Amino acid sequence: MFSGAQISLYPMSDDYVGIILDAITALDPWRANLRIETDDISTLIVGPPEILFPAMRDLFVAAARTGVHCTMHVTASRGCPGEPDDPICVPGDTLAPDTPLQDRIAHARTAVADAQTTGQTIAAQFSLYPLGLGHHMDEIYGCIEFLKASGTFETSKNFCTKLRGDAGPVFETLSRAFTSFGAQAGHVALDVTVSANSPSAV
């Protein structure tokens, strides 16, 4: 299976270069488990699904702790049929392929409840796309049920769900949405925007 994410970080500061370069060092502890490629638009991180979101959490929190308004856009994908399998992507924390939906919801809720906090409050909005499934709406509704009981749910919006809370549980919520819903061996995509220190936060 192939799993990865294209990420773009946007600090709203004249010192955006320094903030980005300093934040990237937060990926160092994860580099042994990730393949990282950067160009002038985004950074691709490839690796096990359960590693991607903690790595992105650390990157974003490092930037947000400067106190400036920061956003990050993420397009994450697992199981894309157009990508070759990559040994670095072998998941280490997977549920059995036939795990019932209610058991997956309960497992995801426990993981979020156990997530470490960071001390950094963030907001996020995201959309889940379980692709190639005849019962994809069952998976989406199951994910929504999980989200509403996650402790990070803020509101439903057009085309997406908004989360708010400490970065630790919020990124764990995103991770569990990505890994627990949709066929375990199927193609799932996630579109995410994360924000911290927004002057328009309400």
User: Tens digit of pLDDT for each residue in 41-89?
Assistant: 899 999 998 899 999 999 999 999 999 999 999 999 988 777 777 777 7
Distance CA(199)–CA(202), nearest Å, equals: 9
Q: 14: pLDDT confidence band, cut at 50, 70 and 90?
A: very high
- 43-46, strands of its sheet edge to edge: 35-38, 43-46, 3-11, 70-78, 187-196, 121-131, 160-166, 153-157
- Any domain includes 50: yes
Domain count, the chain: 1
* Contacting residues for 143 by C-beta, under 8 A, at least 6 apart: 128, 177, 180, 181
* pLDDT greater than 60 at residue 202: no
- Any domain includes 140: yes
- Any domain includes 69: yes
pLDDT at 134: 63
pLDDT at 136: 79
- Any domain includes 202: no
Residue from 52, 24, 9 nearest 189 by CA:
52
- Any domain includes 192: yes
- Global pTM reads 0.93
- Any domain includes 201: no
pLDDT at 66: 96
Rounded to the nearest angstrom, the gap between the alpha carbon of residue 153 and the centroid of all alpha carbons in its chain is: 15
Domain hosting residue 165, numbered range: 3-196
What is the per-residue pLDDT across 95-131, written as a single tens digit (0 to 9) for each?
776 788 899 999 999 999 999 999 999 999 999 998 8
- Any domain includes 142: yes
Least confident of 18-22, 27-31, 132-136, 191-195: 132-136
Q: What is the CATH number of the domain that holds 170?
A: 3.30.70.930
Structure tokens at 192: 């995410």
Distance CA(32)–CA(136), nearest Å, equals: 34
pLDDT at 15: 95
pLDDT at 170: 98
* pLDDT greater than 90 at residue 187: no
What DSSP designation does 77 have? E
Least confident of 3-7, 100-104, 134-138: 134-138
pLDDT at 123: 97
- Any domain includes 132: yes
